[in-house]
Amino acid sequence: MWKKWKRLRTGEKVLFGIVIFLGFVVVQNFASLEWIGYHSPKPMYPILTHFDFSADGKKGSVLFRTHWCTECHRAIGNGTSSVLDLDGEGSRRSEKWIEAFLADPAKNYGAPTFDHGPTQDAAWVAKLPAQERHDLAVFLSELTADRGAPDAKMPPQGKSSFIDDMLRVWAPESWRIGFSDIRNKDEEQRNNGQ
């Protein structure tokens, strides 16, 4: 082993050292992040998506995985992000809307569908028993997002200099004229004493 090492050229030794060092950095970083993740009393990021499942919602959560909705969607840590992420779906859509969508997507989506339509890859979803579509709809409607979560309509409460800066730098003038700032609603509510 030592003889082989001595036979290596200086450049090869340096290269070998760099590879070992990079490997060490990757492993060490991974291990410390995992350690912090498990041992820190505070979560690394605030958790802004919540769920508190009813009995039907729990059944729907199982169906979501056993029917492989996860092949295309993701929710509470299961599945892929190849199409829509359904975490926080309950803050965007009502249970009624989701159930109607699952039963007849072409009619209820409000836009041409890419996968759920009658001749498309996920056409089978509309053919599931009504009870299963109902349970799936209940499950998805119970995935809610707090303010400030990526799926929530409203941004985090209070002033955010980060959002102000992003608006100043990125929002074109036409947006400022054409759209109202949703955060002003907070201001109005405060002024009305609500």
Q: Residues interacting with ligand HEC, by CB under 6 A?
A: 64, 67, 69, 71-73, 83-84, 89, 92-93, 98, 101, 105, 109, 113-116, 121-122, 125, 136, 140
Q: Considering beta carbons, is residue 55 or 169 the nearer one to ligand HEC? A: 55
Distances 89 to 92, 143, 148 between C-alpha atoms, Å? 5, 6, 14
Q: Considering beta carbons, is residue 51 or 183 the nearer one to ligand HEC? A: 51
Q: Considering beta carbons, is residue 96 or 159 the nearer one to ligand HEC? A: 96
Cβ neighbours of residue 89 closer than 8 Å, sequence gap 6 or more:
75, 98, 140, 141, 143, 151
Q: How many CA atoms lie within 13 A of 102 on its CB side?
A: 25
Least distance from C-beta 131 to ligand HEC, angstroms? 13
Least distance from C-beta 19 to ligand HEC, angstroms? 41
Least distance from C-beta 31 to ligand HEC, angstroms? 36
Least distance from C-beta 38 to ligand HEC, angstroms? 32
Determine contact, residues 16/5, Cβ cutoff 8 Å: no
Both tokens of residue 123? 């056409």
Q: How far apart are CA 19 and CA 17, in angstroms?
A: 6
Least distance from C-beta 94 to ligand HEC, angstroms? 10
Q: Considering beta carbons, is residue 50 or 183 the nearer one to ligand HEC? A: 50
Q: Considering beta carbons, is residue 24 or 68 the nearer one to ligand HEC? A: 68
Q: How far apart are CA 122 and CA 72, in angstroms?
A: 9
Terminus-to-terminus CA distance in the chain, angstroms?
Answer: 76
